[in-house]
Amino acid sequence: MEDMGKKKFVFILNHSFDRPDMAAGALQLAANMKAFDVELDFFLINEGVMLAKKEFAESITWQKKDGFSPVHELLRTLTEDFDVNFYVCASCIKPYGLEGAELIRKASIKPGSFLVQMLLERQSVSF
């Protein structure tokens, strides 16, 4: 079997409150992949950027699928246990009201060009 540790991924996450099951699925897959020591980070765009706002994930309580852990638990696992970075699209900060907002641990604001750089050296997974 191929050495899984050498693969690198960027998860592009477009959703949060608007499609909580989609967000939970992305976070669950990422947590499962981290268990195999895969290198991965998230790039949050559109509604996905709301996950970077401190304590926002705790407000997402309307997941339909009970097979996934709650979004806030998955987010905590990824940031605290697996040290995953969450890059937030700079162009989405103002439209989603995140100017001056406190962000979660491991979140930083990056321009779209940063995503381009990651896409050139990693496989992408989009949700």
- Give dist(CA 123, CA 120) in Å, integer: 8
Greatest Cα-to-Cα distance within the chain, rounded to the nearest angstrom: 46
Which range marks the domain in which residue 34 is found?
4-126
The domain tally of the chain equals: 1
CATH code, 20: 3.40.1260.10
pLDDT, averaged across the chain = 93
Question: pLDDT, tens digit, for every residue of 43-100?
Answer: 999 999 999 999 999 999 877 877 788 999 999 999 999 999 999 999 999 999 999 9
What is the pLDDT, as a whole number, of residue 1? Answer: 43
pLDDT over 50 (residue 10): yes
Tell me the residue ranges of DSSP E strands in the chain: 8-13, 39-44, 86-89, 107-110, 123-126
Q: Which amino acid is at 24?
A: A
- DSSP letters, 26-62, are HHHHHHHHHTTT-EEEEEE-GGGGGGGBTTTGGG---
What pLDDT digit, counting tens, does each position of 19-56 carry? Answer: 999 999 999 999 999 999 899 999 999 999 999 999 99
Cα separation of 122 and 127, whole Å?
Answer: 16
Q: Which tokens in the block code for residue 125? A: 């997974």
Structure tokens at 28: 């669950």
| Residue bearing the bigger pLDDT, 7 or 34 | 34
The C-alpha atoms of residue 39 and residue 29 are separated, in whole angstroms, by 13
